[in-house]
Amino acid sequence: MTTLEHSKQNRIPWVDAAKGLAILLVIVGHTVPTGSFTRNIIFSFHIPLFFLLTGYTFHPSASWSEAWERCKKDAMRLLVPYVLGGVVIALVKIGYRHLPAGAVLKDTLIALLWGSGTGDGIHEPIGVFWFLITLFTARQIVNVVSVLFHNEPKDTIPVIGIISLLGFGIGMFDWNWLIFNFDVSMAASGFVLAGMEFHRHEDWFEAHDVPVFFASLLLTMFLMFHFGYIEMSGRWYPELSLGVFESICASYCVVRFVQSISKLKRPEAVLSLVGKHSLMLMWVHAVEDACFSFWKTLPPFAGSVARIGVDVCIAGVLVFLLDKMKRKNQ
């Protein structure tokens, strides 16, 4: 199975479907009560899964010029929505909540600078948008290391592994957080690497599909209930090595589940469509998550369904309008 990143002609349906399922679960996870069984299950894999899927479709650059071109494309795809999202949130706070413009703009600039999903009283948070800048930087880390070491796994694997562990370590100390959420990006590069390695050894995983799946499922349940799980947005890393392993095992189970439903064309088609526009849906969700909170006043199931419906509809309208504008300009 071959892939060309960002190529519409070479999209992998199950990867899009996995992204679609993951972003829908992100919305559910932000709606159900904190500490609930549903939230714990979702948070055990949903963000690492995105990074793993990025790694699966990631094709490292062969030269510095190619890496620079990819960096520019990633900036347009990820950093522009990141900054735009901060501006929209600021405007909503000023116009809808009637908060002081000066204070809102100052807080927004600080939040964009730090790029952190949560605050600690020192760092102003940017909310869900942390994922966009983190994904951008994690991709550049992996790309730079790949070019430096000529895409040799024997060199890139230990280097990216050390960078990832260093990122986790820095994030454990509040006073050492890095701007642009860079410590979390360093940590995330390890999951991107795991996705790349899964792709590289996919034949082996397919040959041992059943035992690996059930072993991963059992390990996921055991580790989550006995040691908890990592939460990258808040730099919550209990039992770090076990938490990382649990996230990878859980992500693998979700990947195999999505691949198994690929025979059901309609569910896969729906999830793939959502996954193709997962970044737009995440952007819409991030804006409404920063501005509104009434979803949690509803029963968890009703609130999750209603929130998904609203976010998907708004994202769909925006995708339609942007596509129409693009066609008009062409």
Q: Confidence class of residue 7 from pLDDT cuts 50, 70 and 90?
A: very low
Two tokens, residue 220: 């996921």
The per-residue b/e assignment along 157-172, b for 16 or more CB within 10 angstroms, e otherwise, is: bebbeebbbebbebbe
Q: For residue range 151-191, what is the model confidence (pLDDT) as tens digits?
A: 999 999 999 999 999 999 999 886 678 999 999 999 999 99
State which amino acid sits at residue 70.
R
Q: What is the pLDDT of residue 93?
A: 85
Q: For residue range 97-150, what is the model confidence (pLDDT) as tens digits?
A: 788 999 999 999 999 999 999 887 777 899 999 999 999 999 999 999 999 999
Helix 80-95 and helix 101-114: axis angle, to 10°?
160
Q: What is the pLDDT of residue 6?
A: 40
pLDDT above 60 for 192: yes
- What single-letter DSSP state applies at residue 33? P
pTM: 0.92
Q: For residue range 48-96, what is the model confidence (pLDDT) as tens digits?
A: 999 999 999 999 899 999 999 999 999 999 999 999 999 998 998 888 7
pLDDT above 50 for 2: no
State which amino acid sits at residue 92.
V
- Residue 236 forms beta bridges with which residues? 231
Report the distance separating Cα 148 and Cα 129, nearest Å.
30
Report the distance separating Cα 221 and Cα 223, nearest Å.
6
SS3 302: helix
- Residue 231 forms beta bridges with which residues? 236
